[in-house]
Amino acid sequence: MNTNLHWQTQFDNSIAQNANPNWLTELRHQAFKRWQTSGFPTLRNERWKYTELMPLAQTEFHLSKNTSSDHYQDLLPETIENSLRLIFVDGQLISELTSDEIYLATLVNTLKQNPAKIEPYITNKNSIDSITDLNTALATDGMVIFIPANCNFTRPIHLIYLYTQIQNNMVHMQNIVHLAEGATATIVEHHIGKDDNRYFSTSFNSIKLEKNANLTYYRWQEQGSDAYHINRTQLMQATHSNTAFFSFDLKGHLVRNEIFQEFIGENAECKLTGLYLGRGKQHIDNYITLNHAVPFCRSEQLFKGILDDRSHGVFHGKVVVSKDAQKTDAQQHNANLILSDKAEIDTQPQLEIYADDVKCTHGAAIGQLDEEALFYLESRGINADIAKQMLIYGFAADTLQHVEQSTLHAFCQTRIRHYFPEMPLLQDELK
Amino acid sequence: MLNVKNLHVKVEDKNILNGIDLQVNAGEVHAIMGPNGSGKSTLSNVLAGRDGYEITDGKVTYLAQDLLNMAPDERARAGIFLAFQYPVEIPGVNNMYMLKAAVNARRKQQGLPEVDAMDFLAMVKNRMRELKMDEKYLSRDVNSGFSGGEKKRNEILQMLMLEPQLAILDETDSGLDIDALKVVAEGINALRSPERAIIMVTHYQRLLDYVKPDFVHVLSEGRIVRSGTAELALELEKLGYSWIAEEAAE
Ligand SMILES: Nc1ncnc2c1ncn2[C@@H]1O[C@H](COP(=O)(O)OP(=O)(O)OP(=O)(O)O)[C@@H](O)[C@H]1O
Ligand SMILES: [Mg+2]
């Protein structure tokens, strides 16, 4: 097969189907050209040394033409109370929603009506590797969310991306989120896909918080059992802004989650909590960078992983503290629960400190189920298998400690519970 | 109800219990005392079915069943309850959830339907009031971040909810302040009944002032070296253990 020709056709079709502003068409062409030269990153690339993308390179993925919107209902997650729910099926929004208080529109519509609003986000996308180029070249839609100054938008915005049963489908999305000065918002980015179906998706997020803004962000990745998924989030935080970011990787065949966070204003705070659950032959790679470029900021990072069967987890967490970033407070921890001899974790927590007056800690732990705790539960009459499930679930659910909104707490718990079917469901939980 | 015969237990090639004989009948309260490291927790753990102990000799029957052949969860469902000397923290597992799962496991065994959610809540709250425990502990994770005394109260709460046939309390009184001790003792007394038996491991007379034992045993170097009535504990309080050890050595 002529791979280059295949990608060229995909790209040409996409360009033909999307009437983009000239600057964007130009940008996409440049990105595609770079992509054609480099192709997928290989294991020789330091950033990808634990994650093999060869199978991706060997498959002819097609940009989905039309949505098969008939078979997605069973993929839909529970409703988050009082949320604004936007559903994309195979890359297409199936029902438009607007709000009087905030700007909420698709990338396609924003490009038609107000391209200047998002131009800087698209042109300033950090081109780290060829995956960025691929996304720039092929991502034509996504959500654009602008929260105006001092708006306390209390309704959670639930962005649901569903992937149905189109074989060898590919979907590339780009989301842009901006919180103006003093704005507050809660966003849930949720990917869910059909099992036993190979597809490839990338989802790029550009998020910016201006002064005093507050963002709670949930990233749920529950892709299908044969899915390839790459998620890359760029998060910029100005003075006194606050982010609570939750990242859940519960499914997918090969998943890479990247977060590039940067403090660009002082006294800002970022709490990053992650959970990854590997079963079967899943491969889940978290690549996290926190950048303390300015003084007086706080970051707290906790990633927990549960790896069973022959699954493989990768945690690369880097905290960079620049020379001027005095009084930085940075904590990072990666804890792993290994449930099988064949499961594997590569963990690399890293601190790169160039300032001298800072408080930084980091560490990683790899362990098995706590025998004491297991005996404790059994001694209460709980069957050993169920007790194990409860402990594993407990290890996972511990990441929800910082979920302050009660409706979201309930949602997260329910969602995680789906992965522990043997745990007894008590009557009052059934509602 | 419980019959321990010539029980010998080894841990990592070290003999810990060297021939324990103990007969506990329904309705009785037994206190087990003895110096640190004499094997009290080992005996409690072996009765509850904890892993890591090698039983080299002896036999234990509980309600006509061979106890040592039962898994820990089976024993619990058959009515044995161990209040841990050091209760375990289980982050991420909700206290109320665990309690209800435990009660339902027991009920299932007895052929009863799952407990009604509202009844259960009312019952727990009642028990918590008796134990002067704040209701907020229900929504917390099992023992997670609880103080020493709070953990002990939580053990007693579980005991009262599970209504065991045979309760083994391993130093439940240790680490309790005076008021808490009284509350916990009332909890233990509430469980006392002609159908149930209680084994209390303790170092202090204080608890026995509140919960009067029918029998007191002294464990030393893995043997019961003396058994008596409540008066034995009073003597021990005055004279310590050394005289018994000396007598035993003679
Ligand atoms: N897992 C183990 N590994 C090694 N030694 C052990 C283990 N468990 C118990 N032992 C040893 O067995 C002996 C008895 O311990 P045990 O905990 O039963 O004593 P105890 O009477 O409960 O003491 P205390 O009054 O201090 O609670 C001690 O010497 C202890 O060190
Ligand atoms: Mg002990």
Q: Are A150 and A17 in the same domain?
A: yes
Q: Identify whether A201 is part of a domain.
A: yes
- pLDDT value of position A70: 66
Q: What pLDDT, in 10s, does the model give residues A132-144?
A: 999 999 999 999 9
Q: Identify whether A360 is part of a domain.
A: no
Which strand ranges, in their side-by-side order, compose the sheet holding B14-24?
B14-24, B2-11, B54-62, B65-66
More confident residue, A5 or B11: B11
Domain boundary residue among A248, A265, A282? A265
Q: State the amino acid at position A56 in one-letter form.
A: L
Position A431 confidence tier, pLDDT thresholds 50, 70, 90: very low
Q: Are A111 and A253 in the same domain?
A: yes
Q: Packing angle between helix A3-17 and helix A22-38, nearest 10 degrees?
A: 170
Nearest to B80 by CA among B71, B88, B89: B71
Phi, psi of B204 (to 5 degrees): -125, 140
The answer on pLDDT for A333 being more than 70 is yes
Whether B39 lines ligand 1, by a CB cut-off of 6 Å, is yes
- pLDDT value of position A430: 43
Q: Which atom of ligand 1 is nearest to the CA of B53?
A: 1
Domain that includes residue A393, residue range: 372-431
Q: Identify whether A344 is part of a domain.
A: no
Position A386 confidence tier, pLDDT thresholds 50, 70, 90: very high
The answer on pLDDT for A14 being more than 50 is yes
Q: What pLDDT, in 10s, does the model give residues A235-275?
A: 999 999 999 999 999 999 999 999 999 999 999 999 999 99
Q: Are A147 and A13 in the same domain?
A: yes
A-facing residues of B in 171-210 (CB < 8 A) are: none
SS3 B27: coil
Whether residues B141 and A376 touch (CB distance < 8 A) is answered with no
Domain boundary residue among A206, A238, A265? A265
Q: Identify whether A171 is part of a domain.
A: yes
Tell me the C-alpha distance between A121 and A238, whole Å.
16
Q: What pLDDT, in 10s, does the model give residues A99-133?
A: 899 999 999 999 999 999 999 999 887 778 999 99
Of A375, A394, A396, the CB nearest to B72: A375
Split into its structural domains, chain A has a count of 2
Candidate of B10, B20, B36 to mutate for ligand 1, largest count of ligand atoms within 8 Å of Cβ? B36
Q: Identify whether A281 is part of a domain.
A: no
Q: What is the mean pLDDT of residues B193-205?
A: 94
- pLDDT value of position A1: 46
Verdict on whether the full-model pTM lies above 0.80:
yes
Tell me the C-alpha distance between B133 and B153, whole Å.
8
Candidate of B12, B13, B42 to mutate for ligand 1, largest count of ligand atoms within 8 Å of Cβ? B42
Q: Are A101 and A239 in the same domain?
A: yes
Q: Identify whether A79 is part of a domain.
A: yes
ipTM of the complex: 0.96
The answer on pLDDT for A428 being more than 80 is no
Q: What pLDDT, in 10s, does the model give residues B34-46?
A: 999 999 999 999 9
Residue whose entry in the numeric block shows the structure tokens 């969310």: A145
Q: Packing angle between helix B178-191 and helix B148-162, nearest 10 degrees?
A: 10
Q: Are A252 and A381 in the same domain?
A: no
Q: Identify whether A99 is part of a domain.
A: yes
Q: Are A68 and A190 in the same domain?
A: yes
- pLDDT value of position A69: 58
Neighbouring CB atoms inside 10 A of A308's CB total: 17
Does A412 lie at the interface with B, CB-CB under 8 angstroms? no
Q: Identify whether A357 is part of a domain.
A: no
The nearest CA of chain A is from the CA of B102 a distance in Å of 6
Q: What pLDDT, in 10s, does the model give residues A406-424?
A: 999 999 999 999 999 888 8
Q: Are A80 and A203 in the same domain?
A: yes
Domain boundary residue among A222, A238, A265? A265
Residue in chain A nearest B44 by alpha carbon: A379
